[in-house]
Structure 1
């Protein structure tokens, strides 16, 4: 049979239908991870997602004949019904996330709707593609493997397309929110496989519209979390995660959230007559970062704020850069996410007249390196959001070396890193910092408590200079003006709890001494434990109901 004759036999309608189903499943994969991230965290959601999806997809492919024989067209008609029910089922499962734990919680959540949907989609789509190609005359090998390879190609291309689209358009409309996209995908399933069985999806649709706080407005969320003493002030989808601003009415603080982590926060409940010039942060680490100003010069003299320049990588709620600006320092802030900048200005009093540069830090630094003489800084504050999993490309020796070039000869860099002191990634990052800058001191945010099971997970600040002085860098004694009228700064401005850098010297078998650009991906497999520890800590900081109801 010639190729022309074979093409004439191809059932393009059935082929298109099968391909469309695979494309929808491919698009659903990154959306599913986005749905899980606010409740379980982005990295824990990834741990078993691919394995579970692969297992159910493979089972669907090899069971497609049995599915066709036992269920017939009913199997296809069930697809849109299951797609509509998936968000409702998962809503109730995620309300039990604390009991399920992590990383078991994401797996169980996907078992309710998504994995069965993957099984049926591949079974139905695989059979449609196989039938449509009419390869019976070409032998069993071609009959089975050509549709399999074609299906894999369609799915892979669809997933890459989905990631590209989501990175540019997430949050653009309600339909491009993570909850909205689940509904859109279900509608598209119904368009590909219309049937009267869709009547069975009506209860789920009604629940989503009336009771699922992820679909509704802010008022619905507030009714769900008011019993915990919290209220939601603002929220917006973004390509770095689900960004929201939460107010705690019992203890009196406000925080900015990204997925299952906090970017920072400020105290809102003040005693009468107490009016600091810059808001008090709820975490001491943000105050500690300001002590870059207190590091003495190599001559032992005080630094002068006037005519000084600072580069802050990572905005958060803007506490540290706002304080530097208040001291009269010309401060440049580089922040990846424009939503973070907007919320910092609107809800955390970050000065709007000092607009942050919205850019990827690696790109910003590369552009600055083209003319380093014009980008010289007295202070560099490296404070990127980690969420239990560091953005490794910002801790490589290559990136840190570029920052060193932008630092003045007598400048100071402060690097904030959150992680478990005993885990390989923490040691790798600290060793890389110490190899880049010859004079450093390492401090943890708070004192380790023997009875704290999470005592090893902490925020650290590493202060460094680019010159080798032969003696440790020294901090001058804070003066009244350094505190900006803030009690928090009186208590936490000067770092207290120093760590011995030698504790990070041991390298596990198969590990590396330094982190370099070309080996960044090697670090990813070690990040799971840190992310899971971070998830547990966040559940102690903010009640489970607040995380679960977004």
Structure 2
């Protein structure tokens, strides 16, 4: 049979219905992870996602004959109903995330909403496609496996395309928010399969409009978290995740959130007469990063701030770059997410007199390396953290070597790394940094305590391009910028012994290189889960759950 003969005997209506449903399902896969990430974090939300999708889809295909025989046409009519109920089911389950835990929470949430949608969609769409092709004359093997392979290829391509498209459009309008796009997909289901059974979706739609705080805008969220003393000032879906600005008026601080982690925060309540030149950070680590200015140069001649240049990789709320700018240092900030930069400027007093570069840091460094007129920097601050884990690509030997080339011969780099000191990736990153920069000292944010999460910490590595001892000059009053926080935390105190990172497990690596960065993903998941538990102690559960 020729390809033209095959096309002539295809039932195009049924074939088109099946294909359209698979495309919708492919779009829902990356969206489901985005819906879970503000409550559980992006990395924990995808630990078992692909496995669950594969199991649900496989069962839907294997059981499609039994499912459709039992349900008949009702199986198709129930699809749009289920699609409209998924946002409500997920919302109600996520309100119990503190009790369910992580990573159990993402699994249960998808098991009660998204996975049944996959199973029923694959069963119905697979049956439609299989019946439309009319391959019975070609034998049972062709009848079963040709549609299976075709639908799998279509779904895989669709999911890849959807992931890329979502990264472009997420947050551009209300319809293109996480919950908005769930409703769009449900509406598409109902357009493909018009059904009088849609009346069963009315309660879910009404609940979404009246009780789901994400449909009620900022006022809806504030009504849910007011009892905890918090208010939502701004929020936006963005490239790196769900970004929001929260304020606690009772304790007097403001934070910027990205999914289930905090990018930083500052104190807003001040005693009468206290006017620091820059805002006080709520985390000591950001004040400690500014100690990069205190590292004494090898030639013994003190650096002049007005003649210095700084490069900051990763903005957060802008605590460190704000201080560098205030000291008169020409500061270039590389930040991948324009929303983070916008919120840092609007809500955290990031000074406008800096050089903003809204770009992926890897691309920026590669272009700067190859440029003949790229500036050399006296200071580089490497401070990247989101999603509960460090992006491995920004700690590879190749990327750090690029930063090495951008640093002046007597320059200093400060690298912030957050993670479990006992896990393999932490030692791997430290050894890689030491392989690029011959002189380093390592300090943790706070002394080790007896808490179970004491091994998960922020630490800063201060490094130079040249061999020799790193020493810090004694700060003078001007270094503190009239900030009490900097008086307490500017000078690094809790030093770590670098030998604790000198060994690595069997089968491990001494250095992290580009081509092996993905090997760290399983460790990133563990780090993100530990970070999730810590974050639940920082802000109340309802603040995380109502995002």
Query: Same fold per TM (> 0.5)?
Result: yes
Question: What corresponds to 1:155 in structure 2?
Answer: 155
1: CA distance between counterparts of 2:188 and 2:360? 34
TM superposition shift of 1:2: 4.1
2: CA distance between counterparts of 1:127 and 1:491? 68
Question: What corresponds to 1:494 in structure 2?
Answer: 491
1:521 and 2:511 aligned? no
Question: What corresponds to 2:63 in structure 1?
Answer: 63
Question: What corresponds to 2:527 in structure 1?
Answer: 530
Contact 1:411 1:465 in 2 (8 A): yes
TM superposition shift of 1:388: 2.5
Question: What corresponds to 1:547 in structure 2?
Answer: 544
2: CA distance between counterparts of 1:87 and 1:302? 59
Question: What corresponds to 2:466 in structure 1?
Answer: 467
Contact 1:388 1:531 in 2 (8 A): yes
Structure 1 residue ranges (4+ consecutive) displaced by more than 4 angstroms after TM superposition: none
Question: What corresponds to 1:223 in structure 2?
Answer: 223
Q: Which secondary structure state, in structure 1, belongs to the residue aligned with residue 419 of structure 2? A: strand
With over 3 angstroms needed to count, the CA separation of the structure-2 counterparts of 1:193 and 1:296, relative to structure 1, is: same
1: CA distance between counterparts of 2:183 and 2:10? 32
Contact 1:372 1:406 in 2 (8 A): no
Contact 2:241 2:258 in 1 (8 A): yes
2: CA distance between counterparts of 1:239 and 1:75? 37
TM superposition shift of 1:119: 0.4
2: CA distance between counterparts of 1:41 and 1:48? 13
Question: What corresponds to 2:501 in structure 1?
Answer: 504
Question: What corresponds to 1:176 in structure 2?
Answer: 176
TM superposition shift of 1:9: 1.0
Q: Which secondary structure state, in structure 2, belongs to the residue aligned with residue 520 of structure 1? A: helix
Contact 1:386 1:417 in 2 (8 A): no
2: CA distance between counterparts of 1:272 and 1:258? 32
Question: What corresponds to 1:263 in structure 2?
Answer: 263
Mapping of residues 69-468 of structure 1, within 5 Å: 69-371=69-371, 374-450=374-450, 452-468=451-467
2: CA distance between counterparts of 1:193 and 1:163? 25
With over 3 angstroms needed to count, the CA separation of the structure-2 counterparts of 1:368 and 1:440, relative to structure 1, is: same
With over 3 angstroms needed to count, the CA separation of the structure-2 counterparts of 1:129 and 1:490, relative to structure 1, is: same
Q: After superposition, what is the alpha-carbon deviation per residue over 1:34-62, rounded to whole angstroms, capped at 9, x for unaligned?
A: 00000000000010001111101100000
Contact 2:401 2:436 in 1 (8 A): yes
Say which is worse superposed, 406-415 or 296-305, in terms of deviation.
Answer: 296-305
Unaligned segments of structure 1, at least 5 residues: none
Contact 1:166 1:239 in 2 (8 A): no
Q: Which secondary structure state, in structure 1, belongs to the residue aligned with residue 523 of structure 2? A: coil
RMSD: 1.0
TM superposition shift of 1:528: 1.4
Q: Which secondary structure state, in structure 2, belongs to the residue aligned with residue 525 of structure 1? A: helix
Question: What corresponds to 1:42 in structure 2?
Answer: 42
1: CA distance between counterparts of 2:79 and 2:49? 20
Scaled by the length of structure 2, the TM-score of the pair is 0.99
1: CA distance between counterparts of 2:174 and 2:67? 36
Unaligned segments of structure 2, at least 5 residues: none
TM superposition shift of 1:303: 2.4
Q: After superposition, what is the alpha-carbon deviation per residue over 1:339-381, rounded to whole angstroms, capped at 9, x for unaligned?
A: 0010001000001232521111111111111235532000000
1: CA distance between counterparts of 2:212 and 2:149? 39
Aligned length: 547
2: CA distance between counterparts of 1:319 and 1:13? 58
2: CA distance between counterparts of 1:20 and 1:352? 48
TM superposition shift of 1:425: 1.0
Contact 1:294 1:303 in 2 (8 A): no
Contact 1:314 1:383 in 2 (8 A): yes
TM superposition shift of 1:160: 1.1
TM superposition shift of 1:167: 1.1
Scaled by the length of structure 1, the TM-score of the pair is 0.98
2: CA distance between counterparts of 1:240 and 1:151? 31
Contact 2:330 2:354 in 1 (8 A): no
Q: Which secondary structure state, in structure 2, belongs to the residue aligned with residue 387 of structure 1? A: coil
2: CA distance between counterparts of 1:243 and 1:308? 32
1: CA distance between counterparts of 2:399 and 2:2? 57
Say which is worse superposed, 149-158 or 368-377, in terms of deviation.
Answer: 368-377
